[in-house]
Structure 1
Amino acid sequence: MAPPRRCTMFATARLTTLFACTLLPLAAMAAEASQTHQPDAPAATVSAFGPLKHVNAGVLDVAYAQLGPANGPVVILLHGWPYDIHSYEQVAPQLAAQGYRVLVPYARGYGDTRFLSASTPRNAQPAALASDVIAFMDALHIKQAVLGGFDWGARTADIVSALWPERVKALVSVSGYLISSQEAAKAPLPPSAELQWWYQYYFATPRGQAGYESNRHAFARLIWQTASPKWAFDDATFERSAKALDNPDQVAITVHNYRWRLGLAQGETRYDPLETKLATFPTIGVPTITLEGDANGAPHPPAEAYAKRFTGKYDYRLITGGIGHNLPQEAPEAFVKAVVDADHL
């Protein structure tokens, strides 16, 4: 692994805007409503984590794994699309062994997390996903935590750090600063860059929504392969995570997330003030370490494009050895070290 190095190059907000996206959201308020989750239903078992816990937080019944001492400093790890909490199956136990209370929640539309009401919009705009994290922390009476994430999870962790810095002790973000806006997304990219976002345009169509509904696992496998071209994951590893995509709200959440980004779907007005703040590309002042894999095949911004967005103690690390988009699962030791180091910046 290459030694840590500090970013010093700065880029314009325009450059950050063009690249501030990863394998994640675009959204449309899907018409389907899921059944209300039964609170007395038995918790599912996750092999790497044991029985999941549940907590009502905001509009969700959040399913989450918990490892480590109950009184330890809190680390919350956020997964991306189309992945699940198993991205942290090696990271979480290592952090727990160092005394951290590690929480790994399923995002809305994934795994055993359910909406509490069938009437709640299946909204996946960035501000909604970030608000879920704050509601989760409030429900568990957590005042402050170290946040770590990749893909959708990195964007969410970035947003929480920017809008609620008092709740974040430190941040670890794969691919750096991923905050964007609908207005920024209107700017066309060069053809080669647009090609990388093929699934975003696919999801913008009824055909794409139907195709994802019919082929969730095959779709996810393709994304895994293209986003991490040198990661030789086996079938059991993939299928264990792909089960999280069988959530009844998965298609609605995924499609809405990406359509929202293109301005093809409306969000909820209650999040308008937050999205207005995010559209200004707020800086992040909490201690931060950003990570990038040397073989990340997913769309991601260059490190020099976002360095100036982090105004507090900051370090950038390029993780070598053929590491792709799912960095926590592909290079767990490097991710663990980043969390511990960020906590002590």
Structure 2
Amino acid sequence: MNHDAQIQYALTPSLNIAYEEHGPSTGDPVILLHGFPYSPRAYDEIAPALAAKGYRVIVTYLRGFGPTRFNSPDTLRSGQQAALAQDLLDLMDTLAIKQAALCGYDWGGRAACIVAALWPERVRCLVTGDGYNLQNIPNSTQPLDPETEHRFWYQYYFHTPRGVEGLTQNRRALCELLWMLWSPTWAKNAERYPLSAPAFDNPDFVEVVIHSYRHRFMYAPGDPTLEWMEEALTQQPMISVPTISLCGADDGVGPATEIDEDAERFTGPYERRVLAGVGHNIPEEAPEATLKAILDLLES
């Protein structure tokens, strides 16, 4: 499906956030958030379908992606979890959205989960890729089982100067490799990847990505203005809003576990749905299942 929404901009304190809007401006708001290394194209089949039902649908470009730009050259090009959440809050405030339904995966899912945990009054409901996405940074130095560590090779690559240079020189090829490794059974990688790849040409892409993967392991300091939020996140706060977790059974970076280890983090209505034949790029690989999850929450 072709996307025909015009790019619009929300001038927030830190960023000029680019987003695509679908549907009537008076509709109940739904905000759709992509991950790394993805783009709003992940929601090409979902946003128009929600708009057709009368919802106001906003699909954002995260910091470091597409036409989104920092307002000042002096702002830390942070990719830390608190920055992503603050961007989402700032977007909602700038667009005068008091409460929205949120759907996100990977980085976007992290932003959505944090806002749902710390500002539940702003979140009508939540569809999250892979459950509870808040990073437990104080525990990040503990090694995981070797198979999991192997899947995280790219994170350790980004911890090195060589990885920074590799991402800078080979961003298209490297991100395409991640698409293939993370969605190993999806037939449309080669067809869909070129639609998202231009979003990685953002001048801040490399800095934001590298900071994200260093900060989560305490290898890079965070933005001092966000330290209060990171401190709150060390408590691993519960999520109380109505939530559906979508997990790809074929996810090459974080395969769905047999037992839902995140269930205890959700204190409100909660359901986990494991999607057979689906990898990491959940909304783009499984648009019907993603749309159904959003509508099940909105219409319940």
Give the shorter-chain TM-score range.
Answer: over 0.9
Q: In the aligned structure 2, how far is the partner of 1:139 from the partner of 1:307?
A: 33
1:88 to 23, 26, 43: 43
1:232 to 170, 187, 210: 187
Q: In the aligned structure 2, how far is the partner of 1:110 from the partner of 1:66?
A: 17
Matched AA of 1:239: P
Instruction: Tell me the equivalent position of 2:147.
Output: 192
**Does the CA contact (< 8 Å) of 2:183 and 2:251 recur in 1?**
yes
**Does the CA contact (< 8 Å) of 1:58 and 1:132 recur in 2?**
no
Matches within 5 A, 1:78-227: 78-227=33-182
Runs of 4+ more than 4 Å apart: none
Give identity over the alignment, percent: 46
- CA deviation string 1:165-210 (max 9, x = no partner): 1100000001000112321101111111111110010000000000
Q: In the aligned structure 2, how far is the partner of 1:177 from the partner of 1:57?
A: 27
**Does the CA contact (< 8 Å) of 2:32 and 2:103 recur in 1?**
yes
Matched AA of 2:250: A
2:251 to 293, 296, 300: 296
**Does the CA contact (< 8 Å) of 1:181 and 1:275 recur in 2?**
no
Matched AA of 2:20: A
**Does the CA contact (< 8 Å) of 2:92 and 2:98 recur in 1?**
yes
Higher mean Cα deviation, 91-100 or 105-114? Answer: 91-100
Instruction: Tell me the equivalent position of 2:270.
Output: 314
Describe the SS at the equivalent of 2:37: coil
> What is the Cα deviation at residue 280 of structure 1?
1.1
Is the counterpart of residue 268 in structure 1 residue 223 in structure 2?
A: yes
> What is the Cα deviation at residue 98 of structure 1?
1.1
**Does the CA contact (< 8 Å) of 2:30 and 2:100 recur in 1?**
yes
Q: In the aligned structure 2, how far is the partner of 1:344 from the partner of 1:316?
A: 18
Q: In the aligned structure 2, how far is the partner of 1:156 from the partner of 1:234?
A: 25
Matched AA of 1:200: Q
Describe the SS at the equivalent of 1:218: helix
Q: In the aligned structure 2, how far is the partner of 1:97 from the partner of 1:281?
A: 37
**Does the CA contact (< 8 Å) of 2:15 and 2:70 recur in 1?**
yes
Instruction: Tell me the equivalent position of 1:305.
Output: 261
Instruction: Tell me the equivalent position of 1:29.
Output: none
CA RMSD of aligned residues (A): 1.4
**Paired residues, number:** 299
Instruction: Tell me the equivalent position of 1:22.
Output: none
> What is the Cα deviation at residue 236 of structure 1?
4.6
Q: In the aligned structure 2, how far is the partner of 1:260 from the partner of 1:48?
A: 34
Q: In the aligned structure 2, how far is the partner of 1:226 from the partner of 1:51?
A: 32
The alpha-carbon distance between structure 1 residues 235 and 284, as it changes in their structure 2 partners (threshold 3 A), is: same
Instruction: Tell me the equivalent position of 2:232.
Output: 277
**Does the CA contact (< 8 Å) of 2:5 and 2:22 recur in 1?**
no
Q: Which has the higher contact order (CA 8 A, sep 6+)?
A: 1
Q: In the aligned structure 1, how far is the partner of 2:266 from the partner of 2:136?
A: 18
Q: In the aligned structure 1, how far is the partner of 2:256 from the partner of 2:218?
A: 21
What's the TM-score, normalizing by structure 2? 0.97
Matched AA of 1:267: G
Instruction: Tell me the equivalent position of 1:3.
Output: none
- CA deviation string 1:209-267 (max 9, x = no partner): 00000000101111100110111125452111000000000000000000001111000
- CA deviation string 1:137-168 (max 9, x = no partner): 00000000000011111111111100111100
Is the counterpart of residue 330 in structure 1 residue 285 in structure 2?
A: yes
Is the counterpart of residue 342 in structure 1 residue 297 in structure 2?
A: yes
Q: In the aligned structure 2, how far is the partner of 1:332 from the partner of 1:228?
A: 14
Matched AA of 1:314: Y
**Does the CA contact (< 8 Å) of 2:245 and 2:271 recur in 1?**
yes
Q: Any stretches of 5+ residues in structure 1 without a counterpart?
A: 1-45
- CA deviation string 1:255-309 (max 9, x = no partner): 0000001111000122111111111111000000111122111125635210010
Describe the SS at the equivalent of 2:261: helix
- CA deviation string 1:76-124 (max 9, x = no partner): 0000000000000101011111111000010000000000111111011
Q: Any stretches of 5+ residues in structure 2 without a counterpart?
A: none
Matched AA of 1:307: A
**Does the CA contact (< 8 Å) of 2:249 and 2:256 recur in 1?**
no
Is the counterpart of residue 242 in structure 1 residue 203 in structure 2?
A: no
> What is the Cα deviation at residue 318 of structure 1?
1.5
Describe the SS at the equivalent of 1:271: helix
Q: In the aligned structure 1, how far is the partner of 2:129 from the partner of 2:218?
A: 25
Q: In the aligned structure 2, how far is the partner of 1:61 from the partner of 1:47?
A: 25
Matched AA of 1:278: L
Q: In the aligned structure 2, how far is the partner of 1:210 from the partner of 1:86?
A: 27
